[in-house]
Amino acid sequence: MTKSNKAAYLAPFILLGPVLIFVAAFYLVPLVQLLGGSFSIGGEWTLDGYRQTLSQAAFVRIFFRTLTLSIIVTIICLLIGYPLAYQLSKVKGRAAAFLLLLVSLPYMTSVLIRTYAWVIILAPNGVVNKTLLGAGLIQDPLDLVFNTFGVYVGMVQIQLPLMVFPLYAAMMRVDRSLTDAAANLGSNPVSAFLHAFAPLTAPGIVGGCTLVFLSCLGFYVTPALLGGAGDYMLAQGITVRVTALADFVGATTQSVILLSIVIAMLIIFRSTLAPDTGEDRSTKKLTAKNGTGLTRYPDVVESLRCRIHPFARSLSEALAVIRTPLLWATTVLAFIFLLVPLLVIFPLAFSSASYLTFPPPGYSLRWFNTFISNDIWLRAAWFSIQTCLLASFFAVALSVPAAYAIVRQRAPARIAIYILLISPIVLPHVVLALGLYFFLGKIGLLGTKTGFVIAYTIVGIPYALIAVVGGLRQLDASLERAAQSLGATPITAFRTVTLPLLLPSLLSAIFFSFIMAFDDVILGLFLGGPSSVPLSVRMWEDIKQEISPQVSVVAVIFFAALAAAYLVHQLLSLRTPAVGHSSKDD
Amino acid sequence: MSVSNLTMRYGSMVALDNVTLDVAEGEFLALLGPSGSGKSTILMNIAGFNIPSAGEIRIGSEVVTDKPPHKRGIGMVFQRYALFPHLTVAENIAYPLRRRGWKQKVIADEVERVLELVDLGAYGARYPAQLSGGQQQRIAVARAIVFKPSVLLMDEPLGALDRKLRQQLQLEIKRLHRTIGCTIIFVTHDQEEALSMADRVAVMRGGRIEQIGDPTCLYERPATDFVADFIGETNFIEVAAKEITNGSAVVTFPGFEQGQSVPTAKSTIAGGKNRLGVRPEHFAVSTERQGLKAVLLEKAYAGETTTLLVETEFGELKVRLPSNELCSGIEHGSEIHLVPDMKKSRYFVA
């Protein structure tokens, strides 16, 4: 092997090394320990933990409630998300960018804040009930929250963006001239959609549903706050076992059961979750099934088909007429549903009342003053900012070389590595939290800043990696080659060409990994100590005690910071003039 | 510069199969071939972006096979130019000079010099996205020559441009080559471009060099039927040859009383598919009704010449005639007699 051959062979390992070592140490080892721990009680290998857990009626009930709830939320999200994504995919240019930003805004907003907003809207004395009572439509307030209905509303609103993004991406990949061709061949718009468009968006449907379902499984804040007393989900069950009952065996086995569902789903749907690592999707070749290449239906189906056809045809003709208003109505309602919880926060933050009431009787800065003058709030905020910022820098620093190896060096097993690195997105935080709780406890980092930075880095790596991989793939590889042919060493080429062009992606990477760490509650509950309380946990405790306008102040400050970050991002992106190819000719 | 016994394998696929190529200093060589023939792979090997499985690359007397790209000092113009979008035109051109640690003053002078050379003197402060495709192409050339490389590689540099502009830039690149006198290796799949620009053309097929020579040689004396077909057009007519002597095959053909000698590259007759290759313009219409009987199927007028598609005992043939009265007199379905120019035809032994 020649010298340059060896260097080219080793490069991916050097680039992937740091992130893999970090993830192995602080992610895989804790999870494996958790797995091992679930099979041992007092140092002996046994299945008793599972026997115990599975024989508890309460666990079985919670387990199936979690599954049903997750499936139903996924279906509702698909039903709302598909038409929404479809309308979005037809919008072009600046308007499209703006609408996508509106959809992603809730995703960037803390789950806590959104859940809190739903209480304000749905409570017996909330916005909806007040409006209906005022209009004389109902005599008594409706029970809209603190029951299963409330949980559905809150979870669908939180998960909807997660469904829309993969659907939107899949729809943008579909060649629109296919539906024109279908129309030309005799399809009305509805049938063209059903036969020539919808089947091609299948990867987006599978991807969106997988993401939504998996992240529903681990939900904690929303069911705990919007659900009724009996509406426990798995994550709550596990947390209660640790914090209230000190039943570590039960918590461990339940976590491992949750973990195994997630791993199974990851393996089944791995191809839909790794669409952007540079694999050619068309390699999955379609092969002819029989000699003629025509589908043959059984006679029963065939006669039925012939009989329904005229009916189906007129139904779809009728649908074609009303489809545009129907789609727009769904889209507008979906946007209202997504954005209203964010909007009620603002007036509330400036409320002059000493208790929660909406709309506020008057406006003042009193809640801002209590926030600024309260040492506990400020300390928590400072703690969160420090740890999340550090963690997001680490996450990006580890992700950049890894992304480079995955996209440019075509590292061996890159798909598997990519899936491993983004898997913390779908792993319920409660599982990670429990794993890290044992692990950090053993090495004495529980309740420390370092412990939090480690945990938040694991949470941030997937978002950083997705952003950087996306950015690198947009960047023409021949730019780096050009730099090298002009005399730049690979490192100089990276510094002078790749890095400046990647800057917007790096900023998004820092931004998203920061937000996701900042939003976490469960890790904070498990890993915190007296001197290490993140802001999210502080808010959580405040909301649980009494719903006051205090949290909306935090939300408004958070939005202001978000807007500032967005502006900085835009300004820095503008400095790079028109990145991309101009295909203009003379 | 030279390339010897270069082989490149991707798993079981052979992208380059034992390629040897010598390029003289100051020569303009075109690598011509269909896509997948290995022409870009050679370029990537010379530039150092691919590492060959076997073989050697020399620049002058120095072996560079193991050198990383940035130490080779070879200029390269990329397929879609690869101009840095975040740098101005001037900074793009200054890039190689900055990497070499030149003085600011010298850099400024050199940038101005090459910008003048490519006729874009006033465009230094612009960004690449503000230029048209043709201007971007010229800037890419300027950037690749500013550090005075001894070899300039061009990877289908005109592929993204429309026909008119391409022809104009072909002439500009030739003029530039004359001015700066560096060695150019130019990859293209457009035979017209290769023939009109290069001193020598290497025709590639399946990772091998099929034939290398000056444009006239390739056009008039193609070594294989592939070259005859790829460069210009050729009718292949299956006729047997009696023998081959002194580089000529003796062929009997309708309309000729005795065997005609046709030039060939081979020295013996093999048992395979032996064919006579005649270019469309090397047929004449016999006024004495002698020669190969042909019936006109289709006629396409193209200004100075007219192309006829005719049916003969050897199948369909393409014939190109000057657009004169004789030609316009030939009607659909009418019978004519064709005589090939045997001196200009070639005999191919498979």
Domain boundaries along the sequence of chain A = 56-228
Task: Report which of residues A171 and A317 the model is more confident about.
Answer: A171
Strands of the sheet containing B346-348, edge to edge, are: B235-237, B275-278, B346-348
Q: Please report the pLDDT score of residue A578 as a whole number.
A: 46
A146 has a pLDDT exceeding 90:
no
Q: Which residue is closest to A582 within chain B, CA to CA?
A: B129
Share the mean pLDDT of chain A.
85
A383 has a pLDDT exceeding 80:
yes
Q: How confident is the model at residue A139 (pLDDT cuts 50, 70, 90)?
A: confident
B147 touches chain A (CB under 8 A): yes
Measured CA angle at B70 (ends B67, B73), to 5 deg: 90
- The stretch A450-473 carries a mean pLDDT of 94
Q: How confident is the model at residue A275 (pLDDT cuts 50, 70, 90)?
A: low
Give the CA distances from residue A90 to residues A232, A342, B264, in Å, rounded to whole numbers and listed in that order. 40, 26, 62
A491 touches chain B (CB under 8 A): no
Residues of chain B contacting A476 with CB distance shorter than 8 Å: 80, 82
For tokens 């200009």, name the residue. B344
A579 has a pLDDT exceeding 50:
no
For the domain spanning A56-228, the CATH number is: 1.10.3720.10
Pair of tokens at residue A179: 């539906």
Residues of chain A contacting B99 with CB distance shorter than 8 Å: 486-488, 492
Mutant choice from B66, B86, B143 vs A, greatest count of A C-beta within 10 A: B86
A215 has a pLDDT exceeding 90:
no
Which amino acid is residue A39, in one-letter code? F
B119 touches chain A (CB under 8 A): no
Which amino acid is residue A142, in one-letter code? L
Q: Which residue is closest to A489 within chain B, CA to CA?
A: B70
Question: Which of A4, A478, A479 shows the shortest C-beta gap to B51?
Answer: A4
DSSP-derived secondary structure for B31-75: EE--TTSSHHHHHHHHHTSS--SEEEEEETTEE-TTS-GGGT--E
Q: SS3 for B159?
A: coil
Q: Are A34 and A462 in contact (CB under 8 A)?
A: no
Cβ distance of B49 and A484 shorter than 8 Å: yes
Q: How confident is the model at residue A84 (pLDDT cuts 50, 70, 90)?
A: very high
Q: Which residue is closest to A5 within chain B, CA to CA?
A: B51
The contacts of residue A355 (CB under 8 Å, 6+ apart) are A548
Whether residue A359 is preceded by a cis peptide bond, meaning omega within 30 degrees of 0, is yes
Q: How confident is the model at residue A39 (pLDDT cuts 50, 70, 90)?
A: confident
* Percentage of chain A modeled with pLDDT above 90: 31
Cβ distance of A4 and B132 shorter than 8 Å: no
Pair of tokens at residue A443: 């090495």
Pair of tokens at residue A495: 């510094």
Radius of gyration of chain A (CA): 26
DSSP code, position B247? T
Q: Residue A259 burial by CB count (10 A; 0-12/13-18/19+): exposed, middle or buried?
A: buried
Q: Please report the pLDDT score of residue A280 as a whole number.
A: 42
- The stretch A215-233 carries a mean pLDDT of 85
Strands of the sheet containing B75-77, edge to edge, are: B75-77, B151-155, B183-188, B28-32, B200-205, B208-213
Cβ distance of A585 and B96 shorter than 8 Å: no
Domains of chain B, CATH where assigned: 2-221 (3.40.50.300), 233-348 (2.40.50.140)
Strands of the sheet containing B305-312, edge to edge, are: B283-285, B335-340, B292-302, B305-312, B315-322
- The stretch A96-116 carries a mean pLDDT of 87
pLDDT for A507-536, tens place per residue? 889 999 999 999 899 999 999 888 899 999
Q: Please report the pLDDT score of residue A59 as a whole number.
A: 87
Q: How far is B148 from chain A (nearest CA, A)?
A: 11
Q: Please report the pLDDT score of residue B21 as a whole number.
A: 93
Pair of tokens at residue A50: 């599972």
Q: How confident is the model at residue A576 (pLDDT cuts 50, 70, 90)?
A: low
Q: Of A37-41, B52-56, B65-69, B303-307, where does mean pLDDT reach its minimum?
A: A37-41
pLDDT for A333-359, tens place per residue? 999 999 988 888 888 888 888 777 778
Which amino acid is residue B138, in one-letter code? R
pLDDT for B308-340, tens place per residue? 999 999 999 999 999 888 888 888 888 899 999
Mutant choice from A1, A9, A479, A485 vs B, greatest count of B C-beta within 10 A: A485
pLDDT for B248-269, tens place per residue? 888 888 878 788 888 888 777 7
Cβ distance of A579 and B85 shorter than 8 Å: yes
Q: Please report the pLDDT score of residue A97 as a whole number.
A: 86
Q: Please report the pLDDT score of residue A8 as a whole number.
A: 67
Share the mean pLDDT of chain B.
90
Which residues in chain B (18-47) have CB-CB distances under 8 A to chain A? 47
Q: How confident is the model at residue A582 (pLDDT cuts 50, 70, 90)?
A: very low
The contacts of residue B40 (CB under 8 Å, 6+ apart) are B155, B156, B187
Q: Which residue is closest to A488 within chain B, CA to CA?
A: B70
Residues of chain A contacting B75 with CB distance shorter than 8 Å: 485
The contacts of residue A221 (CB under 8 Å, 6+ apart) are A111, A112, A115, A521, A540
Please name the helix (run of DSSP H) or strand (run of DSSP E) that holds residue B301, with its range, or none. strand B292-302
B162 touches chain A (CB under 8 A): yes
- The stretch A23-42 carries a mean pLDDT of 90
Q: SS3 for B253?
A: coil
- The stretch B293-299 carries a mean pLDDT of 91
A6 has a pLDDT exceeding 80:
no
DSSP-derived secondary structure for B265-289: S-SS--SS--EEEE-GGGEEE-TTS
ipTM score: 0.79
Radius of gyration of chain B (CA): 25
A282 has a pLDDT exceeding 70:
no
